[in-house]
Structure 1
Amino acid sequence: MPKTLNPLQLVADRWQPSARFVRRAALATVVMAVVIVVTGGAVRLTQSGLGCPTWPTCTEDSLTPTPAMGINGVIEFTNRMLTYVLCAVVGVAIVAARAHLPRRQGLTRLGWIQFWIIAANGIIGGITVLTGLNPYIVAAHFLASTALLTVAVVMWHRSHEGDEEPRDLVARPVRQLGWVLVATTALLIVAGTVVTGSGRHAGDAKKNVHRIPLDWHQITQLHVDFVFVVVGLTAALWFVLRAVGAPAVPRRRVAELFVVLMLQGVIGYVQYFNDSPEIVVGTHMFGSCLVWIAVLRVSLSLRTRGEAPALPAPAAEAATALAAAGR
């Protein structure tokens, strides 16, 4: 009975990417996950949420925007097309992780999780358009993008370490404090989506878009309260790590998070006291991605899985031969 051909195995038989390439491919998925968040925000902030009034086509009769739709149609359609770029980047990361020797199934699995999140979020994005920018669906769309960013960051981090069972670098209570920091930051992000759903940037100026029936000033205050809690937890974790003599890397990650939080706080105050200008809101969305990345890196730095596996000797010789043959 003929052996079933596996395209990924065919690639792996002919190409063994370096560990550096795998790490860079994983980093590229993080970058693209941030790009898709920021460009999605640009769609809303330019009032282009319904630039393409239907889905999956742009209009009932056209796959692409028509000249009559103006710049709003171009902006919304461009954001849709970036999803395919994101899929391509994730695809490269999956293939690289699969072809790398020694095989690391955990990395490949994280790549496929990203792919399925993208597919699911594409459907959520379509529902967002078909429901006329329902704020609850818009919030779900953003949170799914945050989930994608989460998996991308984990894959990037895992590409730098081994596949041993996780081992804590600090005492369990300190590790738990790190998880509390992650959970509180997640609540901060959720509160931010409620601010967005009840705030002034509805996403389309031509239609009376439904908003979450809450006073956005009060929700913003709740959002700020979560910011203070996150900053307090960050400072507490830094002092605790110093007190217990934790390794340098976790302490550095916490310091990086604190700096990002301070910068994001400045942007947030400028946004609030200037009636949320579009460019500042977009910068704030970019900052929220950086905050989430920094928080995840803090948590991941509190444990280790050992060193990244080295390339086996026979595989190294094969890779060298392939490289020589390709010259």
Structure 2
Amino acid sequence: MPNTLNPLELIARRWQPSARFVRRAALATVVMAVIIVVTGGAVRLTQSGLGCSTWPKCTPDSLTPTAAMGINGYIEFGNRMLTYVLCAVVGLFIIAARARHPRRRALTRLGWAQFWVVMGNAVWGGIVVLTGLNPYLVAAHFLLSTALLTVAVLTWQRAAEGDEEPRDLVARPVRQLAWLLVAATGALTVIGTVVTGTGPHAGDAKKVHRIPLDWQEITQLHVDFVYIVVGLSVALWFTLRAVKAPAAPRRRVLELFACIAAQGVIGYVQYFMGLPELVIGLHMLGSALVWICVLRAALALRDRGPLPEEDAVVPAPSDGHEAPGPQVAAASSR
């Protein structure tokens, strides 16, 4: 009895995507993760968090929003539908990574990790709705989105490099400084969710429970961590110059400087203008971009060699005849 192949194996026998296609598919997952962060913020800022009153349906009697629910229902439901788009993009990456020769199990594992984070966050979002936008659960919902973005950035990085053992490009203290910067930026993000949980934009026009902390004090703590992140970024830049690090890591830190500068301007504008919704949305976008730049700066401090050459690809047998000899695919782009 012939062996039964799973669908991914069947696709891999008939389609060999290029290394560039896999990298672009990985980048698409990063873009979609950022979009999910921004649109989730739009749901809260337009007071549409309970636009759909229940989950997984939109109302107890309808899967989709009704005209009586107004624009808020459509905004909330539209954000739910984006989850399916995100799943499709992640699925495309998983298929492309699996079909790529030689097979790189690390990439497919990262793709599946993204898929399960998406599924978990979708369920968590439903719990947020069912609990009436509990601020602690809302904060965790955002942090799960940040976790998805983290895995997506790591996937994008791994799709552009080889599978050799990591080789450090700088001394250990420099790498420790970079990961300290990552930790400080992570703490900044967590504190930002607390600021949101104490602030005026609760996500719904009705009275919603808020975190019982002083908003201005938490905001000041958030600003203090901004200064810490800026200071560590400057220290990393001068350290990389002092040790004559390769150009790529220094370029990543310059990209981080640009994102931090833009994010700082947006942050002060939103504070002094009384937290306008549009500016807060831009601040959430900036938060995602800063996190991406921080991760890329840290990951640029090691090298895993070039992308592996493509294996010989043997077409699947058809019509009961013996398969022709192996065909050597073009070498992958570097």
Q: Decide: shared fold, TM above 0.5.
A: yes
Which stretches of structure 1, 4 residues or longer, exceed 6 Å deviation after superposition? none
Partner of residue 55, structure 1: 55
Cα-to-partner distance string for 1:260-313 (whole Å, 9 max, x where unaligned): 101100000001111110000000000000000000000000011111112135
Report the residue type matching 1:54 in the other structure. T
Q: Any idea what SS the aligned residue of 2:44 has?
A: helix
Compute the TM-score of the two structures, normalised by the length of structure 2.
0.94
Q: Is the aligned partner of 1:200 residue 2:200?
A: yes
TM-score computed with the length of structure 1 as normaliser: 0.96
Q: Report the AA paired with residue 146 of structure 1.
A: T
Corresponding residue of 2:121: 121
Partner of 1:296: 295
Ranges in structure 2 where 5+ consecutive residues have no aligned partner: 315-325
Counterpart secondary structure, 1:233: helix
Using the TM superposition, give the Cα deviation of residue 89 of structure 1 relative to its aligned residue in structure 2, in angstroms: 0.2
Report the equivalent of 2:256: 257
Partner of 2:16: 16
2:310 and 2:329 in contact (8 A); partners too: no
Q: Deviations over 1:98-147 (max 9, x none)?
A: 00011111000000000000010001100000000000000000000000
Paired with 1:74 and 1:99, the residues of 2 have a C-alpha distance of: 38
Does structure 1 retain, via aligned residues, the 8 Å contact 2:163–2:307? Answer: yes
What's the offset of the Cα at 1:194? Answer: 0.2
Which string of whole-angstrom CA distances, capped at 9 and with x for unpartnered residues, describes residues 69-110 of structure 1?
A: 010000000000000000000000000000001111100000
The aligned residue for residue 213 of structure 1 is: 212
Q: Mapping of 1:128-143 within 5 angstroms?
A: 128-143=128-143
User: Could you tell me how far apart the structure 2 residues matched to 1:255 and 1:66 are?
Assistant: 48
Number of the residue aligned with 1:83 = 83
1: CA distance between counterparts of 2:94 and 2:108? 5
Q: Using the aligned pairs only, state the percent identity.
A: 74
Q: CA deviation at 1:3?
A: 2.0
The amino acid that maps onto 1:169 is L
Which digits, 9 at most, give the CA deviation of each residue in 1:23-76, with x for residues without a partner? 000000000000000000000000000000000000000000000001000000
Q: How far apart are the structure 1 equivalents of 2:87 and 2:193?
A: 25
Alpha-carbon distance in structure 2 between the residues aligned to 1:138 and 1:14: 44
SS of 2:184's partner is helix
Give the Cα separation in 2 of the matches to 1:312 and 1:72.
52
> Offset of 1:5 from its aligned partner?
2.5
Residues 226-245 of structure 1 aligned to structure 2 (within 5 Å): 226-245=225-244
Offset, 1:167: 1.3
Q: Secondary structure at the match of 1:246?
A: coil
Query: What residue number does 1:287 align with?
Result: 286
Q: Is the 8 A contact 1:136 1:197 kept in 2?
A: yes
Higher helix share: 1
Unaligned segments of structure 1, at least 5 residues: 321-327
Report if aligned partners of 1:15, 1:319 keep a CA contact under 8 Å in 2: no
Residue 225 (1) aligns with residue 224 (2): yes
Cα distance in 2, alignment partners of residues 78 and 19 from structure 1: 33
Q: How many residues align?
A: 319
Q: Which amino acid aligns with 2:220?
A: Q
Q: 1:317: Cα distance to partner?
A: 3.5
**Structure 1 CA distance, aligned partners of 2:67 and 2:329?**
51
